[in-house]
Amino acid sequence: MTAITDSALQAAPATKARGYWATVGRRIVRDKVSIACALVLLAIFLSALLAPWLGLADPYQGSMIRRLRPIGTPNYPLGSDELGRDMLARLIYGGRLSLLIGISPVIFAFIIGTSLGIVAGYVGGKLNTAIMRTIDVFFAFPSVLLAIAISGALGAGIVNSIVSLTVVFVPQITRVAESVTTGVRNMDFVDAARASGAGALTIMRVHILGNVLGPIFVYSTGLISVSMILAAGLSFLGLGTKPPEPEWGLMLNTLRTAIYVNPWVAALPGTMIFAVSICFNLLSDGLRSAMDIRN
Amino acid sequence: MLAYVARRFVYAIPIVLSVALVCFLLVHITPGDPLVAVLPADASQELAAQLRTAYGFDRPLPVQFGLWLWKAIHGDLGNSIATGRPVLSEVLRAVSNTVTLAIAAAAIGFTLGLFFGLLAGYFRDTWIDKVATSIAIAGVSLPHYWLGMVLVIIFSVQLNWLPAVGAGPGGSGEWKWNWEHMSYLVLPAITTSVIPMGIVTRTVRALTGDILSQDFVEALRAKGLQEWHVFRHVIKNAAPTALAVMGLQLGYMLGGSILIETVFSWPGSGLLLNSAIFQRDLPLLQGTILVLALFFVFLNLMVDIAQASIDPRIKRS
């Protein structure tokens, strides 16, 4: 204990004491690309959330004489759409639905898939076989086809499109969760917990969950980009949101007819989908390498 | 090898059956009566009941599934409600157009993906790697239906170089190998190729990096082998995984073509699916999805077998 007075020794445990997540956090803050993406996403999220207070034009108010104005028209900074509605307002308001239908399937699938995967991985045996073989069936469909098939059968609508995308992502997350859990369940600390009399539920909640959540979380963040593209894609096909709601995929669809008149305004909603999708992809990559402490 | 192939085929049977079950159930998760699309709005109760009996919708579900499966095995997927023509022939005709598109897209996407991936993996952490990875990440993040629109805007609307929609002059679905027909394929194929290009690049880059950091590469170099020979070893070791990823991507292109085919009005299985959904033509919807999913299962099977034939480690496990 006398060594504590030695300043060199005092410094050493201080750096060592930093926990895993603190290290990951520090590494990600140093990653310029991740920070830039996080800021772009934050800007899009906040502007969508605060849209009514930003002093924008009414996104539903059309004008038959001011249709398809080009970018840079006074009062229409990003032009107007095929019904004369302000594009800037619609793009910002569009973030509300687009982000909701793009991100919520991954959140739901994360919750369902993680639970299924942990149970399958920890309990093992017949239950594992039952869960994993059922999951396999969904892998027999290309994911776009599965999403289209389910929402096509259920019919158009926001809830249906969220449901169909959740169904697409649950098997993928379950598979990852199961394999991570199988890796953890035979570790000594799990045996120790079992030997000390902990029940299966306690072990899964306390000892497994904390150790598998990280990798599953990173995997799931990578799915958000796909989910954004697919959710907007369903709306683009007419299977998601219904007019006149502002939503990026649906806006692309209704503006398709305008590509001969005012092509660049027609392409605008796609840039929003692209921006969100690429930022989530880069952020997920950044998170992955930040969590890979070996490097 | 033969035993392995046989085993893979046997394993595929339960998958095929469950795929059929999912396709069958799809129709039954639809809200309302499957007959809504064919019944006139003022149809009487008797007419509805008559049609229900005619289509067999009044029987218990397991019986319906059995009958449907039995017919499907014999190549009868029923008739399209909208056109009255057999579903199978409609689907197969459309699928052939999708296959054309997917193969063209695969040729572009896989070539570029392998090229960028090997380059990035070999020159890791150099500017070459950064450029290649940026292209790859843009490829996987692009909403491809939007890219299709942008390409149409540039090359059809502004430059007027290439046709915007359809699969041939006069909207004919007949495919011929001449420039007039090929020009219709260019934009949809490029659009379709972007995602596989990105994914193949990322996979091959990671594989190449992993292989190059292994001890045996160092041993090869220490032995005095020229870089070209080391490269051959890298290719050999990366091939099985790269092949599996490419096979999967080809399957995704075939099965997930609906968005691109809608943008370009390409008369393939995706466009057929689109019209089946919006005309609520359930037999056609069911049949198209079944055929596409079976295609996908078959493709996966072929990839597994190809993988095992070039990588002896897989057979043994």
pLDDT recorded at residue A17: 58
Does B315 score more than 80 pLDDT? no
Q: Given CA atoms B28, B31, B36, B38 in this order, what sign does their dihedral have?
A: negative
B287, two tokens = 């049949």
- The mean pLDDT of chain A is 86
Model confidence over A10-49: pLDDT tens digits?
Answer: 444 444 556 777 888 888 888 888 999 999 999 999 999 9
Q: Does domain A26-51+87-291 have CATH number 1.10.3720.10?
A: yes
Q: Which residues of B touch A252 (CB under 8 A)?
A: 145-146, 149
| End-to-end Cα, chain B, rounded Å | 13
Q: HSE (CB half, 13 Å, CA atoms) of B68?
A: 24
Is residue B31 within 8 Å of A156, Cβ to Cβ?
no
Q: Which residues of A touch B22 (CB under 8 A)?
A: 137, 141
Model confidence over B120-160: pLDDT tens digits?
Answer: 988 888 999 999 999 999 999 999 999 999 999 899 888 88
CA angle centred on B304, ends B299 and B307, rounded to 5°: 120
**Phi, psi of B23, rounded to the nearest 5 degrees:** -60, -40
Please give the residue of chain A at the shortest CA–CA distance from B14.
A137
Is residue B220 within 8 Å of B230, Cβ to Cβ?
yes
Q: Which residues of A touch B196 (CB under 8 A)?
A: none
pLDDT recorded at residue A49: 92
pLDDT tier at A278, thresholds 50, 70, 90:
very high
Between A124 and B313, whose confidence is greater? A124
Q: Which of residues 208-247 of A touch B (CB under 8 A)?
A: 225, 229, 232-233, 236-239
Model confidence over B166-207: pLDDT tens digits?
Answer: 777 765 556 666 777 788 888 999 999 999 999 999 999 999
Does A7 score more than 60 pLDDT? no
Alpha-carbon gap, residue B158 to B162, rounded angstroms: 10
Q: Which of residues 259-278 of B touch A (CB under 8 A)?
A: 259, 262-263, 273-274, 276-278
Every domain of chain A and the residues it spans: 26-51+87-291
Does A3 score more than 50 pLDDT? no
Model confidence over B252-287: pLDDT tens digits?
Answer: 999 888 999 999 988 889 999 998 888 888 888 889
pLDDT recorded at residue B170: 63
DSSP string, A131-165: HHHHHHHHHTS-HHHHHHHHHHHH-SSHHHHHHHH
Does A265 score more than 90 pLDDT? no
DSSP character at residue A73 = B
Alpha-carbon gap, residue B84 to B90, rounded angstroms: 10
pLDDT recorded at residue B12: 87
pLDDT recorded at residue A295: 44
pLDDT tier at A293, thresholds 50, 70, 90:
low
ipTM of the modeled complex: 0.87
Residue among B147, B259, B289 minimizing CB distance to A237: B259
Between A87 and A37, whose confidence is greater? A37
pLDDT recorded at residue A12: 47
